[in-house]
Amino acid sequence: MKIIITGATGFLGRTILFSFKSQEVITVGRQKSNICCDLSSQIPKIPLASLIVHVAGKAHSVPKTEKEKQHFFDVNVTGTQNLLKGLEQSPSLPKSFVFISSVSVYGLDKGENIKESDPLNAKDAYGLSKIQAEKIIQNWCDKNKVICTVLRLPLLVGDNPPGNLGAMIKAINKGYYFNIAGGQARKSMVLAMDVAEFILPASEIGGVYNLTDGYHPSFKELSDSIADKLQKNSSLNVPSWLANLMARVGDMLGEKSPFNSYKLSKISSSLTFDDTKAREALGWHPKKVLEYFAAGGNNLNPTKNKTNPR
């Protein structure tokens, strides 16, 4: 089976590419790819393939200007449209299409056991662009009788992770990370390698799936595991009263402040997602993130953490 992967140079893309090492794979991306193409502005020439895994996208940044917001739509929406146009010009359409989406589509800062059927209420540029891309792909697959799979992912864990987890590792290593009110808030996360291994079986039946490790560690559990692996002291704790005071001060300072009431609410509230659908339909049985850390399966060298577009 020939497989085409977009975004194979990114964090998740590299993991997927490695898991497909026994398959015939063609990569599409802006650099270091078999087909070099900027999907946000170019239509690629796609050869015949059975499976498309669309990983490429923009993430891990907070836009501050309208231009930066538009870039999310250029990459995530226009890039998807250009990929589909390239597929339409290939010798034959693929059997299956897998799209890597995000739990950001739900637009929630707190909540527990959120299901795939819950409303997609994202208001930010990243979440909105992922919603649009999902709909474009689903409509195209329905029209062309291609099996469509959408994977909505939470925080990704693996070697040298980007984004919030990479920032957390760096802060713990340098000794300036702290938990809020004991760090009891829980967040869904999942190992990149488990996502990669789920792709082939999911591509055979299609559907929309949340993927998590099923445990949803607390900030304290996660920070303690990272600190132990880095041989650092456990992270400090900021009590609720002090965190609230800091947040109010941040509110008064405005955009210049790195901490405010909104950010306090996000990090002190649990946000977890239900992956029952994947477990029942495809036997999804991932490894727990904390067990992965305990087993020494992660390179946490913070000097190598880089933010890579997905």
What's the CATH architecture for 2-157+189-213+271-287? 3-Layer(aba) Sandwich (3.40)
Rg (CA), the chain: 20
With 0-12 / 13-18 / 19 or more C-beta atoms within 10 angstroms meaning exposed / middle / buried, residue 270 is middle
Give the count of alpha carbons within 13 A of 248, CB side only.
Answer: 5
Q: Which two tokens stand for residue 174?
A: 């340098």
Largest CA distance in the chain: 63
Q: What is the pLDDT of residues 82-108, one digit of tens each?
A: 999 999 999 999 999 999 999 999 999
Q: What pLDDT, on the 0 to 100 scale, is given for residue 300?
A: 56
In whole angstroms, give the CA distance from residue 103 to residue 243: 27
Q: What pLDDT, on the 0 to 100 scale, is given for residue 234?
A: 85
End-to-end CA distance of the chain: 24
Q: What pLDDT, on the 0 to 100 scale, is given for residue 306?
A: 39
280: number of Cβ within 10 Å = 9
In whole angstroms, give the CA distance from residue 149 to residue 132: 15
Q: What pLDDT, on the 0 to 100 scale, is given for residue 219?
A: 93
Q: Which residues contact 130 (CB under 8 A, 6 or more apart)?
A: 57, 76, 101, 102, 104, 105, 122
Q: What pLDDT, on the 0 to 100 scale, is given for residue 181?
A: 83
Q: Which residues contact 265 (CB under 8 A, 6 or more apart)?
A: 109, 110
Q: What pLDDT, on the 0 to 100 scale, is given for residue 298?
A: 55
> Do residues 8 and 14 lie in contact, with contact meaning Cβ atoms separated by under 8 Å?
yes
Q: Which residues contact 39 (CB under 8 A, 6 or more apart)?
A: 6, 28, 56, 75, 78, 79, 80, 82, 83
Q: Strand, coil or helix: what is 208?
A: strand
- Domain residue ranges of the chain, discontinuous segments joined by +: 2-157+189-213+271-287
All residue ranges of the chain with pLDDT < 50 are: 302-310
